[in-house]
Amino acid sequence: MRKALPIFSLLLICGCQQEATAPTAQELIDNRPLLTEWQKKCDTGDYSHLPADQKERMCSTTHNATIAVTQAAAGKKESDFFKANTIRK
């Protein structure tokens, strides 16, 4: 009985742990520090060693948010360039 109690306790603790959930792409777009943190986790950190299917499940929103942020920044840059060249000073 004494040997079974620690094993049972360990199984109970491990069974109660929740699986990590990835934030949505919109949450990552709205919160740039969170996006940076998840990029690190997916590229070189916690999730970089996972098999492809699990990594895709955890990191797909990060990649989508990164693309959206990059496209928005490029669009703003082009808009600013166009505006600067069309307004007479």
- List the structure tokens of 32: 């740039």
- Domain count of the chain? 1
Residue 11 lies in a domain: no
Domain that holds residue 78: 19-86
- For residues 35 and 50, the model is more confident at 35
Model confidence pLDDT, tens digit, residues 21-36 = 778 888 888 999 999 9
Q: Among 50, 57, 54, 22, which Cα is nearest to 37's? A: 22
40 found inside a domain = yes
Whole-model pTM above 0.85?
A: no
Domain assignment present for residue 7? The answer is: no
> Is residue 6 one of the residues assigned to a domain?
no
Domain membership flag for residue 10: no
Residue 1 within any structural domain of the chain:
no
- Asked whether residue 42 is assigned to any structural domain, the reply reads yes
